[in-house]
Amino acid sequence: AVSFDMLDAQFSHVNEDCTFETLTKRFVIRDKAVQKIGEMIHDADLEDDKFQRTECIGIDRILKGCAKEGLPDEEILRRGFECFDALYSFLQRR
């Protein structure tokens, strides 16, 4: 297993980057849709408005809402994957 987003993890926040940005840079992912998602995750996670992505508000609330439902981690992950898969499909077509 690969550890991420925790103390002493292989992948975490680096300088001004959120973990998602760290991963995309490490694996040299240049897909424009992935980069846009990274900007949204950055703004939602770090709350610094660096990219001024208004979509981050909705993404943040959806994922936090799933967590507040008391769902098992596997279900939260499944729902998160569905959300980001759909977002990726939408952004690819733009």
Domain map of the chain by residue range?
A: 19-92
If you average pLDDT over residues 13-22, what whole number do you get?
A: 89
pLDDT 10s digits, 33-73: 999 999 999 999 999 999 999 999 999 999 899 889 998 98
pTM: 0.84
pLDDT at 4 over 80: no
What's the chain's average pLDDT?
Answer: 90
CA triple 39-65-21, angle to 5 deg: 20
pLDDT for residue 16: 92
Neighbour count for residue 57 (Cβ, 10 Å)? 12
pLDDT at 14 over 90: no
Rounded to whole angstroms, the Cα distance separating 40 from 36 reads 6
